[in-house]
């Protein structure tokens, strides 16, 4: 298994990894310390069929882990998820039912959570009549 960062910027981080998944086996790639709200885009290309899942490290400790994403591919697939809680995650490549060894490449792009722009309080005119509002009560 070989990992090579393919670039990083203020907007996000990219990584690419090549993995040999023998028939009857699973392999996983750990994605460390992903913050809450991170947008994660994953593209997987493989020489044969695989099951692909993204699972949190916390879920892997349960007796019946639930994946954030799970799907099958013949040669290519891509998906995008938003990380629901901070922590480590695993990209799992499952070839347990496959008849042949599979060579796979996974490209991952992590974008930080987009902060909404700050909201400004409404601007109030000094004189309500100039703002087009008539005063209902005279003082």
- Among the residue ranges 6-10, 54-58, 102-106, 124-128, the one predicted with the least confidence is 6-10
77 three-state secondary structure: strand
Better-predicted residue by pLDDT, 78 or 4: 78
6, pLDDT greater than 90: no
Strands (DSSP E) found in 9-125: 13-21, 26-34, 39-46, 50-56, 69-73, 76-82, 87-94, 102-111
55, pLDDT greater than 70: yes
Whole-structure pTM value = 0.74
pLDDT bucket at 1, cuts 50 / 70 / 90? very low
Q: What is the pLDDT of residue 9?
A: 37
7, pLDDT greater than 50: no
pLDDT bucket at 130, cuts 50 / 70 / 90? low
111 three-state secondary structure: strand
Q: What is the pLDDT of residue 113?
A: 83
Place domain 13-111 in its CATH homologous superfamily.
Answer: GOLD domain (2.60.120.680)
């Amino acid at each position: 298994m070989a990992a090579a960062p393919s670039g990083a910027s203020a907007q996000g981080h990219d990584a690419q990894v090549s993995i040999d998944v023998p028939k009857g086996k699973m392999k996983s790639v750990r994605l460390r310390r992903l913050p809450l709200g991170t947008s994660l885009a994953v593209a997987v290309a493989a020489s044969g069929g695989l099951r692909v899942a993204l699972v949190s490290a916390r879920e892997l400790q349960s007796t019946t882990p639930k994946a954030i994403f799970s799907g099958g591919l013949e040669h290519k697939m891509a998906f995008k998820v938003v990380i629901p809680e901070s922590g480590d995650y695993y990209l799992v490549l499952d070839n347990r039912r496959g008849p042949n060894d599979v060579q796979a490449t996974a490209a991952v792009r992590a974008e930080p959570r987009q902060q909404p722009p700050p909201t400004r309080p409404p601007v109030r005119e000094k004189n309500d009549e100039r703002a087009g509002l008539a005063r209902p009560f005279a003082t």
